[in-house]
Amino acid sequence: MSTSTIAAIATASGQGGVAIIRLSGDQAWSIVEKLVHFKKKNIQYPVQTGRVYHGGLSLPKGPDEGDTSVSDSAMIDEVLVLFFRGPRSYTGEDIAEIHCHGGAFLSRVILKACLELGAAPAMPGEFTKRAFLAGKLDLTQAESVLDLIEAANIPMLRMASQNLVNRSLNDRIEQLAREIFDLQSPIVASVDFPDEVDEPAREPLRKKLEALQKSIDSILEAASRQDILRRPFQVSLMGRPNAGKSSLFNALLASDRSIVTPIAGTTRDTVSESFTSKNGTSITLVDTAGLRALETTEAVSVEALGIDRSWQAAEASQSILYMLDATNTLKPEDLNTLTKLSSLGVPLLVVWNKCDLLSSKVLPSNPLALEAMTLSAATGEGLPTLFEWIDKQVQTQYQTLPEHYLALNQRQKECFHQCREALNEVLPILTTHSLPLDLATVPLSEALRAMNTLLGRDMTEVMLSDVFQRFCVGK
């Protein structure tokens, strides 16, 4: 493992209350000491791990400026410094963190100073990669770190945390690997020591194999159902032009995100924004172009492209709000669109907007018997009820998931598929007595290799780099 000291800004870009500059490596503390002036009464040597120290941070002077030590007179910020001595740290190396005020420029200046004092810029995911290489995490745990960062709902947080803390996915993979090894070992023993070990009976091996295949199929099926955990819950606003979609979009977000005018067709493309529901789920709200029947000459127009994207958004949604103008009648075009939306198989709510303009709350009939409600995007009437409906859809969808989550990422699913395909090659060997039993050792070795790849064993540097490239710099 590399012994160079790396540094990066570990907090999100932009301004905030606090920014963190993280260093990992043998020189982490010595670089901090060249930047931060600690009052003697506030620090003891040797520096204690897990302690927080307060000091003034000054930029180091150049070689032509004489004394290179730091002092209060040149201080640019008051900071807190955390120190974790390896191997009892996240990366297994010495780690130091400088917690400064959260100015974007300030944090970049401090990072630049760390680099000038000998640190190397950290690559994406390099801190977690070092933790993996030091044996602090297995690869599935390292990937759970990324899952925690990217989680958009509580079930995903629980799944990622469960594996990171309890190694739940790792333990399941280890169990499968042992079962594959137990299937292979008597075959190998009979081949290597034919005079001492009899060839194992094929029928018990076949039963073990089928149980293995069933277990992997169950994992892949659950992972397919739980793919929804890896993306925000999407709600699309659909409807004819000037139904009030953009007004409702802005009202739900409590901001003027979409342009609203009295002119029908103002929105020509999808606009998306996220908000957080009561239960903590990240919801992506999509404002779409108005749907209407186009003339033949309009088939390649900008509006036509916008309508195509509206339907793409609907197909990618977990819930759809179809908006109607309560001051107008239900048109055949609306019925055709609602019929098509119903066929998508996702929860659909008919929203009658502009109810504040009605003298009577009696609405047109609903021939399709779809769930419907009234509201006013302009006054906010009905918005709490709509929020409750969206929360209900979120809860209903997540309640259908198994209690134990295995929301596999793409790399993990590919490894499980490779293992399953290898095991498929074993079955005809076990059931065809004319075939030598030792032929099964090759696909069984491939299945074991897939399990080892899942855990990060025997992986090349290129393969590891591909995994950690998805991480942000500083993690």
Q: Is 323 helix (H, G, I), strand (E, B) or coil?
A: strand
Q: What is the pLDDT of residue 401?
A: 67
State how far the Cα of 155 lies from the Cα of 281, in Å rounded to an integer.
9
Could you tell me the pLDDT band of residue 404, with boundaries at 50, 70 and 90? low
Could you tell me the fold of the domain covering 232-399? Rossmann fold (3.40.50)
State how far the Cα of 361 lies from the Cα of 377, in Å rounded to an integer.
16
State how far the Cα of 237 lies from the Cα of 426, in Å rounded to an integer.
50
Instruction: Mark residue 198 as left, alpha or beta (left: phi above 0; alpha: psi -120 to 50; beta: remaining).
Output: beta
Model confidence at 260: pLDDT above 80: no
Is 37:72 a contact under the CB 8 Å cutoff?
yes
Query: Among 225-229, 394-398, 409-413, which is the least confidently predicted range?
Result: 225-229
Dihedral (CA of 436, 441, 446, 450) sign: positive
Q: Is 434 helix (H, G, I), strand (E, B) or coil?
A: coil
Could you tell me the pLDDT band of residue 41, with boundaries at 50, 70 and 90? low
Comparing C-alpha atoms, which of 329, 383, 388 is closest to residue 356?
A: 383
User: Taking the CA of residue 11 as centre, how many other CA atoms within 13 Å lie in the half-sphere pointing to its CB?
Assistant: 20
Going from the C-alpha of 392 to that of each of 12, 279, 323, 347, 385, the distances in angstroms are: 32, 10, 19, 10, 11
Model confidence at 362: pLDDT above 90: no
For residues 45-61, average pLDDT: 83
DSSP letter (8 states) at residue 61: P
Q: What is the pLDDT of residue 228?
A: 78
DSSP letter (8 states) at residue 201: P
Q: What is the pLDDT of residue 251?
A: 87
Model confidence at 219: pLDDT above 80: yes
* H-only helix segments in 226-301: 245-253
- Each residue of 337-359: b (16+ CB within 10 Å) or e? bbeebeeeebbbbbbbbbbbeee
325-341 pLDDT, tens digit per residue, is 888 878 888 888 899 99
Domain 6-138 grouped into CATH 3.30.1360.120: yes
Comparing C-alpha atoms, which of 402, 448, 406, 404 is closest to residue 219?
A: 406
Q: What is the pLDDT of residue 259?
A: 44
Tokens representing 362? 């009696």
Which residues lie across from 284 on neighbouring strands?
234, 274
Question: Which pTM value belongs to this model?
Answer: 0.74
Could you tell me the pLDDT band of residue 73, with boundaries at 50, 70 and 90? low
Is 238:246 a contact under the CB 8 Å cutoff?
no
Model confidence at 214: pLDDT above 50: yes
Model confidence at 265: pLDDT above 80: no
Q: What is the pLDDT of residue 266?
A: 44
Tokens representing 219? 């994992």
For residues 342-369, average pLDDT: 82
Could you tell me the pLDDT band of residue 19, with boundaries at 50, 70 and 90? very high
Model confidence at 204: pLDDT above 70: yes
User: Where do the structural domains in the chain lie, given as residue ranges?
Assistant: 6-138, 143-226+409-455, 232-399
State how far the Cα of 56 lies from the Cα of 74, in Å rounded to an integer.
9
Model confidence at 467: pLDDT above 60: yes
Q: What is the pLDDT of residue 293?
A: 58
Model confidence at 45: pLDDT above 50: yes
Return the percentage of the chain with pLDDT > 90, whole number.
Answer: 37
Dihedral (CA of 226, 229, 232, 234) sign: positive
- Each residue of 269-278: b (16+ CB within 10 Å) or e? ebbbbebebe
Model confidence at 405: pLDDT above 70: no
- Counting DSSP H helices and E strands in the chain, the numbers are 14, 13
For residues 314-323, average pLDDT: 91
Model confidence at 318: pLDDT above 60: yes
Model confidence at 71: pLDDT above 50: no
Angle among Cα 15, 255, 372 to the nearest 5 degrees reads 140
For residues 1-19, average pLDDT: 85
Q: What CATH number labels 143-226+409-455? A: 1.20.120.430
126-177 pLDDT, tens digit per residue, is 999 999 999 998 899 989 988 888 888 888 888 888 888 888 888 899 999 9
Mean of per-residue pLDDT scores for the chain: 84
